[in-house]
Structure 1
Amino acid sequence: MDDYALSFWIYMGVMSVFIGSTLKKFLASHVSAVPSLVAWLGATLLVERLCAMCMPAVLALVAFCATCWLYSLLAAPSPVLPVEGKAVLITGCDSGFGLATAQRLDAMGFQVFATVLDADGEGAKLLRNICSPRLTLLQVDITQPQQVQQALINTKAKLGMKGLWALVNNAGVCVNFGDAELSLMSNYRGCMEVNFFGTVCITKTFLPLLRQNKGRIVTISSPSGEQPFPCLASYGASKAALNLFINTIRHELEPWGVKVSTIFPSAFKTGQSSNTEYWEKKYQHLLQNLSPSLLEEYGEDYVMETKDLFQKHAKTAKEDLSPVVNTIVKALLSPQPQVRYYSGPGVGLMYFIYSYFPLSISDKFLQKLFLKKKVIPRALRKQNELNHIKDNNNDIISNNNNVTSKME
């Protein structure tokens, strides 16, 4: 009995490691590693059947797992392309991912063209102070075609006969605040102007230089462009439009040898997200511009809770931007870059649930993950109160009728 129990626990332990490794591989790479995932699952089932038929197969399974583990330790790292002679244009380098990426690529030896909104801002000053003379700052508002064209002229003058190796589409804004009905039309237009039209403009403008070098386009998108995050309608819609554009040109540019990748980060502290004053201004601006009837139906406390939840979510976001910067570097230097990258804690699990679970479960997961709202709109509260009073009255009438019937 003891021998059987020992064999059973060895079997369970090894199978747990094996299946856990399979799930970890799947969550880390999602769609990009489907063939290898199928192979892992097939091997798991095969070994499981062998173990079920005869316990000595457990020893074979242990040996197999040990071999796989040793191979993963000793296997050569994935090859990367050389950095020398490669030029990269990065948009939105005033702060966040753009600023961090510009610093990293410059330190690696890339010739970096970093676009900023404010050439005298803190981000621009930092890049001037710590980066090499190879880095070129370009003051560009990507929503202004004239400025984008001037950036192309300046970039060509610096590159000479060289083409551009890569464009990193990082510039973006999230001016969304509140439910879709409460979001101002200026929010929708603001997000579309920067996240979609601006990115389309700069991508189209620099494509001739990228085609010349058979280069890369790397775009920072957002899971909210594919999943229905509460209170992110305008931002998510702009990213959804961007995703479709990028996927379309990915097919169209394949004959030219230009490789296109999209990165979907989890929550990180970027831009004004951790600025309390920023959220307060957004809140006051929304209150001043909402129609009185709409504000009456939702209630000021409902809007205030949304603001507080956005602030709370921003505080829990990761400060270390290196996971996204590392992913950008992979997309730039991998001989065969992935079409999609998922960067940051939890994003792989989120996509797994969204892709393979019923909508009822994935929707609840997103609501719990992002904004856990407790306050309901004022009009619904009043309706619930009326229904409650009505139900109580019905109960009283029903009880009176029962008493009358008994007396009769």
Structure 2
Amino acid sequence: MELSTSPSIWAYGSVWLFFSLLVYFKFSHSDMVLTPALLVYFFLLVLFEWFCHLYLPILLGMVLLSSACFYVLSITSPRKLLPVAGKAVLITGCDSGFGKAAAQRLDELGFKVIATVLDLESPGGKDLRKNCSDRLTIIQMDLTKPEDIKRAQQITKEKTRENGLWALVNNAGYCAHFGDAELSLMSTYRGCMEVNFFGTLEITKALLPMLRSSKGRIVTVSSPAGEHSFPFLAAYGSSKAALSRVMDTFRHELMPWGVKVSVIQPGSYKTGAHDDKSHWERQHKKLLSNLPNELLQEYGEEYISETQNLFFEYGKTACTDFSPVIDSITDAILSENPKVKYYAGKQLWLLYFIGIYLPSSISDNFFKSLFLKGKIMPRALRKQKNTE
């Protein structure tokens, strides 16, 4: 018995010794602080080592324990931030929401901010001019217009001639309809793709030579709707899925150039036209006037109207504190080693855990409880039910 356990003790002891030396090194360089979370992680490592010692071959156990130790070190160490001085960043979609808040935060930190807005005279644009420093430049840009993107590219070159462009924050986004995929107009699908995918891709490609030169950053605000099939968000979710995929491709391809690419996945926040009831009423009227009559009869106007009302009710629970998203954007721009993905929002981890790891029977019911709360069935289904 002693012969069989002795090699195991020495093997795991060597892992613990190396881990202890790394912890001591980080403490001595003020790169780590003792927190309750660190103590909890240490206790979990002890339990994991006990499991490996009892049930796994020595070599496999050493590899897994070493990996767990390095993971704990990575998540408990404060992230090293780069200096702000001389750095310029372009942010799209700064009329309101995340873009406006990010422009204000980065301006306060000392960045040279180039903020794009759809309307120079929008309340958000006026507020940025009033409250930010003279380092901030506001540009009118519509991502669906190549001439606007080209003009923004030229202005950015001029404004960053001295130190170059450090970061691009792709924030601008568009959601035109909340409803069944079959009822969503093709113009809605194309509209979401034009802004969220093609427009964002075009501005990224336009600024990439500058970002490659500075070995800078690309930070893109995507959406969990691009990773999970949320009911009623087919057009928006599809465009965000395409956006996340192309950004991940850029991440791989730009590694040799020193450009780091991150994607922000926010939770539910009140942004953009979320509270603009007149905007959604116009979209609703446009939908009803363009639906084929047969389809309108199958679903019924009362069902379509209830779906829109559910969207407003769901929006009332959305968060108004943008700080988790803005903190993530800031970290992605300044961290020496930014994360590939940032999940910004309360309980967002639960959504991903249920959507990815649990059986579809459970995850489907979970998403149904979030979105499919309507009491009115489509008209054709009601008729079928009544005849049964």
CA distance in 1, matches of 2:382, 2:295: 15
Q: Deviations over 1:78-118 (max 9, x none)?
A: 32111111100000000100000000000000000000110
Q: Give the drift of 1:44.
A: 3.0
CA shift for structure 1 position 361: 1.1
Match of 2:384 in 1: 383
- Are 1:44 and 2:35 counterparts? no
What letter corresponds to residue 137 of structure 1 in structure 2? Answer: I
Match of residue 156 from structure 2:
155
Counterparts of 1:343 and 1:253, CA distance in 2: 24
Q: Is the 8 A contact 2:247 2:261 kept in 1?
A: yes
Shift of 1:177: 2.7
Correspondence for 1:394: none
Are 1:366 and 2:367 an aligned pair?
yes
1:286 corresponds to which residue? Answer: 287
Q: Is 1:176–1:188's contact at 8 Å kept on the other side of the alignment?
A: no
Q: Distance in 1 between matches of 2:241 and 2:52?
A: 44
* CA distance in structure 1 between the aligned counterparts of 2:337 and 2:171, rounded to whole angstroms: 21
Return the offset for 1:155: 1.2
1:167 is the counterpart of 2:145: no
Instruction: Give 1:39 deviation, angstroms.
Output: 8.7
Name the counterpart of 2:194: 193
C-alpha contact (below 8 Å) 1:310/1:371 kept by paired residues:
no
Greater alpha carbon shift after TM alignment, 152-161 vs 228-237:
152-161
Between 1:370-379 and 1:231-240, the stretch displaced more is: 370-379
Give matches, 1:206-225, under 5 Å.
Answer: 206-225=207-226
Counterpart residue identity of residue 241, structure 2: A
Partner of 2:3: none
Shift of 1:365: 1.0
Give structure 1 stretches of 5+ with no counterpart: 1-36, 51-70, 388-408
> Could you say which residue in structure 2 is the equivalent of 1:350?
351
Residues 293 and 39 of structure 1, relative CA distance in 2, 3 Å threshold: farther
Contact 2:86 2:111 in 1 (8 A): yes
Which residue in 1 is equivalent to 2:267?
A: 266
For residue 134 of structure 2, what is the aligned residue in structure 1? 133
Q: CA deviation at 1:38?
A: 10
Q: CA deviation at 1:282?
A: 2.1
Q: 2 CA distance for matches of 1:300 and 1:155?
A: 48
Alpha-carbon distance in 2 for matches of 1:347, 1:143: 31
CA contact (8 A) 2:79 2:336 kept: no
SS in 1 for 2:139: strand
In structure 2, how many angstroms separate the alpha carbons of the residues matched to 1:308 and 1:158?
A: 45
CA offsets, 1:332-376, max 9 Å, x none?
A: 111100101100112111111111101121122112123422321
Structure 1 residue 176 displacement after superposition: 2.1
Structure 1 counterpart SS, 2:316: helix
Structure 2 gap ranges (5+): 1-39, 54-71
Q: State the alpha-carbon separation in 1 of the partners of residues 43 and 103 from structure 2.
A: 38
Deviation at 1:305, TM superposition (A): 1.1
Q: Secondary structure at the match of 2:196?
A: helix
Distance of 1:384 and 1:371 partners within structure 2: 18
In the superposition, the TM-score normalised over structure 1's length comes to 0.77
Is this contact kept in 2: 1:176–1:233, CA < 8 A? no
Q: Take 1:38 and 1:294, find their aligned partners in 2: how far apart are those partners?
A: 56
Change (3 A) 1:159 1:49: closer
1:340 corresponds to 2:327 = no
Determine the structure 2 residue equivalent to 1:8: none
Counterparts of 1:57-136 in structure 2 under 5 Å? 77-136=78-137
Do the aligned partners of 1:225 and 1:240 also contact (CA within 8 Å) in 2? yes
- The equivalent of 2:244 in structure 1 is 243
Query: Could you tell me which residue of structure 1 aligns to residue 185 of structure 2?
Result: 184
Distance in 2 separating the partners of 1:151 and 1:97: 20
Match of 2:35 in 1: none
8 A Cα contact 1:279 1:311, kept in partner: no
Assess, with a 3 A threshold, how the Cα gap between structure 1 residues 263 and 276 changes in structure 2: closer, same or farther: same
- Counterpart AA for 2:220: T
Task: Supply the distance in 2 between the matched residues of 1:150 and 1:384 (Cα, whole angstroms).
Answer: 58
Deviation, 1:158, is: 1.4
Q: Rg larger in 1 or in 2?
A: 1
Distance 1:98 1:383 in 2: 48
CA deviation map 1:192-234 (0-9, x unaligned) = 0000000000000000000011000000000111101001000
- Secondary structure, counterpart of 2:175 in structure 1: coil
